[in-house]
Amino acid sequence: MNFKRIFVALFAFALLAGACGTDEDSGTDPGDVVEETPSETPAEAPSETPTETPSEGAMGPAFSDEGRTLDAPMATIDVDGDTADWAGIEGLDMTLYPISDESFDPKDSTLKVAYDSNYVYALVTVDDDYNWDPDNHNLSAALAVQWAIDPGAGEAMGSTDEDRETSLGMVDIWHWELACTAGTDNGGAVSGPGDGKDPGDDGGCGFDDEYASSTEDREDDGGAGAENSLFGVWTHSEMTADADGTWVFEMQRPLDTGDAQDAQFEAGSSAQVATAYWDADSGDGGWDDEDHVQSANQGWITVNFVGDAPAGSGDGAMGPSFSDEGRTLDAPMATIDVDGDAADWADIDGLDMTLYPISDESFDPKDSTLKVAYDNDYVYALMTVDDDYDWNADDNKLSAAMAVQWAIDTGAGEAMGATDEDRETSLGMVDIWHWELNCAAGVDTGGSVSGPGDGKDPGDDGGCNFDDEYASDTETREDDDGASAENSLFGVWTHSAMTADADGTWVFEMQRPLDTGDGQDAQFEAGSSALVATAYWDADSGPDGWKDEFHVQSANQGWITVNFV
C-alpha cells in the first residue's frame, strides 16, 4: 500500500472599506479596485467627525475611530451550518454598508466568535434572499472576514485612511466564494490548493486563506509556513431561489497556525476583525468586486478572548492542518491481555478525539479513543473507532485498516517525519505500526506470531499484515529493514457488531516490547514521554474500498504526547 500521504493531510476584500487589490485566483473575485476613497462625509452619514455612537445612514460613517467590542467566550462548536451551538453566546448585531458608488441596500448582520484550546470559531449571519449558482460564483453570495495581523493595520486591507495604497500593516483574510453546495465541508482543512495555486487556496470549494498589506496586494497565503487550515460550512434558512431568509456562515481555524500571514489568537488576548458580504442581486450578472457591504468603514471590531484556556481539547467539525496545539495522554503501569476484549482497559483513562480526512475526497470524520499502558516488558495500545463493520477475506481494501505512528527522532514531523512546509523534507524518522486486516477478528496477528512474507523485509507480517514500518518523509515508508530489524508487534482486532454494515465500534488492541534495540523502532521506558499519531481507513470510502489517501487521522491536530507515568 502506498502510504505516501498517511499523516498529511480564518477577498478579494475590495475592501474592507475602500479600494481593493487583485487576486490571482480568478478574474472576477471580490478584490479588484473599487472606489479609491470614500468621501469624508458620505451621503446620509454623520458629519466629518462622527458622534460617539455613529448613526448608521445609508452608507455608514466613513472610517470612524469609534470601536465596537465583542467577547469571545470559551466554547467548542460543531461547525456544521447549524447555529444551535451558538444559542448561549452573545453576538454583535450590526448593519453592513456599501462602499462603492453603486446604490444597493445595507444588510443586517450578526457576528459571534468563540474559542477552545485548539480552535477559534466564527459565525456570521446576513439577512438576505437566497441566491446560489453552481456554475457562476458571482451569482451566489460571497463573504470575507478580515483580521489584523500587525498592530495598527488599517481596516482597508491594512492600508491607511488617506492613501489606500500605503500600508500600515498586514491583515489576514478568510475569503469565501460559494463554489460548493450548502452543508458541504469547505476550506483548506478538507481540500488542497488548486493546480499551481499557493497553499492558501481551497481548490475544492473556494474558502481561501489570504493576506494583504495594502489595497493592491491581496494574495492567497503563500509564504514560508503557509497553509490553509480554514474549515467552514454555509447554509441558508430558506433555500429556494430569491426566498427571504438568513445566510449562515460558520467557520473555524486553529488558534495558532505558526504562519506569519495568519492572525494568531490566544486566551486573554484581543483581536481586530471586520466583515464583508457580496449580494448576488447587486447587478444583472451578479456581484462585481465593488458591489459589497461591509463593517470596516465604522472601524475595527475588537474581539476579546475572555477566560483562561481550557485544559482539554476541543474537536470541532474539522481539524486544522498541523496545529501546534498539543494533546496529552497518561500511560499508567498495567499488564494487558491482548485478545481483542477491551475489558482490561476499563480503569485506564483514554484520549477521546475526532479523526479527520486529509484528502480532497468528502467523507465523514470518525470518533476515536486512544489508550496506552505499559509494564516491565511491553507497551500496550488500544485504539477504538466508531464505524460500521466491513471486512472482506479476499480484499483488504474492502476491510478497515489503521496505523499508529510514533516519533523516533526528536523533532520528527507528524507528516511521516516530514516538515509542514515541504512534506518531502525530513525532520526525522517515525515508527509506524500499520495494520491491514488480512486475518479475521480474534486472530493473533503481527510479526511476533508470523514471519515476513517471501522476499519481504523483517518488518513484514506475512501472516496477517500487521507490519512494523518506518518513514523519514512522505516518500520513504518501508517495512523495517535495518541491521537489527524484526517485527515484534502483536495485535488482535474485533468489532462490536460483526454483521456487514452494522454500526458499532472497531477495537484494535496491540502490544510491543518497550525496547526492541532496533534503530527503526521507537523505544519506551518508565518516566519518559513519546509522541504518537493515529490513522484509520474506512472500507466505505469508495466503491472499491479505501485508497491510500482515503483516511482520517489525528496528525493534522499535532502530535499526541504520551507520558509513561
Q: Looking at residue 162, what is its pLDDT?
A: 66
Q: Looking at residue 48, what is its pLDDT?
A: 34
> Which residue(s) pair with 253 in the sheet?
120
> Which residue(s) pair with 495 in the sheet?
506
Q: Looking at residue 291, what is its pLDDT?
A: 76
Question: Mean pLDDT per 10-residue run, the chain (565 residues)?
Answer: 32 37 38 32 33 32 56 93 94 88 82 94 97 90 94 83 77 95 94 90 94 86 89 96 96 93 92 92 79 85 74 33 59 96 95 80 84 97 95 88 90 66 70 94 95 91 93 78 92 94 95 94 92 89 77 80 92
Q: Looking at residue 304, what is its pLDDT?
A: 94
Q: Looking at residue 49, what is its pLDDT?
A: 32
Cβ distance 474 to 4 under 8 Å?
Answer: yes
CA–CA separation, 371 and 385 (whole Å): 12
CA–CA separation, 497 and 483 (whole Å): 42
Q: Looking at residue 542, what is its pLDDT?
A: 79
pTM to 2 decimals?
0.51
Task: Give the DSSP letter of residue 415.
Answer: B
Q: Looking at residue 41, what is its pLDDT?
A: 32
Q: Looking at residue 100, what is its pLDDT?
A: 59
CA–CA separation, 415 and 432 (whole Å): 12
CA–CA separation, 521 and 141 (whole Å): 52
Q: Looking at residue 456, what is its pLDDT?
A: 92
Locate CATH 2.60.40.1190 in the chain: 68-305, 327-564
CA–CA separation, 549 and 421 (whole Å): 19
Q: Looking at residue 56, what is its pLDDT?
A: 33
CA–CA separation, 71 and 340 (whole Å): 48
Q: Looking at residue 36, what is its pLDDT?
A: 31
Domain spanning 327-564, CATH class: mainly beta
Q: Which residues contact 4 (CB under 8 A, 6 or more apart)?
A: 474, 475, 477, 548
- Count of helix runs (H) and strand runs (E) in the chain: 0, 26
Q: Coil, strand or helix: which one is 282?
A: helix
How far is C-alpha 225 from the chain's CA centre? 15
Classify domain 68-305 by CATH architecture: Sandwich (2.60)
CA–CA separation, 490 and 70 (whole Å): 53
Q: Which three cell numbers stand for residue 74?
A: 470559551
Closest CA to 286 of 110, 144, 135, 101: 135
Q: Looking at residue 543, what is its pLDDT?
A: 82
> Which residue(s) pair with 513 in the sheet?
378
Please count the CA atoms within 13 angstroms of the CA of 164 that sit on its side-chain side: 26
